[in-house]
Amino acid sequence: MLTFEYSTANRDMPVAYGSFRAMHTLCEVLIAGTARPAAEELIRKIYERAGVLESKFNRFDPQSGVSRMNRSAACGETTVDDELYGALEMCRVFNRSTCGSFDIAVQSEERPSGEAYLLQPSRHAVRFTGTGVTLDFGGFAKGYALERIKQLLIKETAGSALVNFGNSSVLALGVHPFGDHWPVGLANPFRDGEEAYGFKLRDGALSISGHTPEHPRHIIDPGSGGYVARDGFVAVQGRSPLVAEVLSTALFAAPETKWSGIMENYTDYRAVRIGCDRDGTVTVTEIT
């Protein structure tokens, strides 16, 4: 369900707000300085775009493109649509550029020692290299959706906008209408109403991966096959919401010994580790 609100409290800078659920979380959209009919139509398009992408990448939906691929590609070569094939290509590149720490096959029952899937470019087909392979786009889909939403916002000439998927994947277009950046904060999970760390976004993106008291131990290290034991968060800030999402996922999953090797491939991105202790203490460490 899509909700929409429009405020003209400041006549020089009206603000449109929309919210809906997609990709297992709440998505919030804020657009400033756009007339109501155009803003309402644009938020509706964002809602529809997110819904289409969720129906493609959600492996828990039996009718999604990813679910159908997971069922058939283990038995033989399976043709997929252009968008899903492109995502498979990108994920293979991301796997290599993160030293194997970003891996969409990490949820597999039996993870092959080499490539989990093989691609056939001329037919846009994929074949799994083992019967136990399952592909999951959980660390990719929201970032990819924000990338597509960004294209839509630019096409519709929205100059100032913020799109937030569940406070973990954020896209900022332009700057706040009354400042030089969009302020985005990470809540301290042990102190209600307190911010653990604040970010300043200007025409960029932010992705946060980690463990919270409500969702502990749910991220898997592809290298060991076990759940990552560390607490806290890894946040990545940069130009592309897709790269930020992939990189925050990979860095949190990877052992610290791999961090420098991963960041060598992403020098235009800033990554920090944020630790939150139960006594409220916050520690922030740059990842280089």
The structure's pTM equals 0.95
Give the residues across from 29 on adjacent strands.
18, 163
- Cα 64 to Cα 62: distance, rounded to the nearest angstrom: 6
Q: Are 240 and 147 in contact, with CB atoms under 8 Å apart?
A: yes
pLDDT in tens, 177-211: 889 999 999 999 888 889 999 999 999 999 999 98
pLDDT in tens, 88-139: 999 999 999 999 999 999 999 887 788 999 999 999 999 999 999 999 999 9
- Cα 105 to Cα 131: distance, rounded to the nearest angstrom: 12
Query: Would you place residue 218 in the very low, low, confident or very high pLDDT band (cuts 50, 70, 90)?
Result: confident
- Cα 74 to Cα 129: distance, rounded to the nearest angstrom: 7
Q: Is the pLDDT of residue 217 over 80?
A: no
Query: Would you place residue 278 in the very low, low, confident or very high pLDDT band (cuts 50, 70, 90)?
Result: confident
What is the DSSP-derived secondary structure letter of residue 265?
T
Print burial letters for 54-86: b (CB count within 10 Å at least 16), e (below 16).
Answer: bebbbbeeeebbbbbbbebbbeeebebeeebbe
User: How high is the pLDDT of residue 181?
Assistant: 95
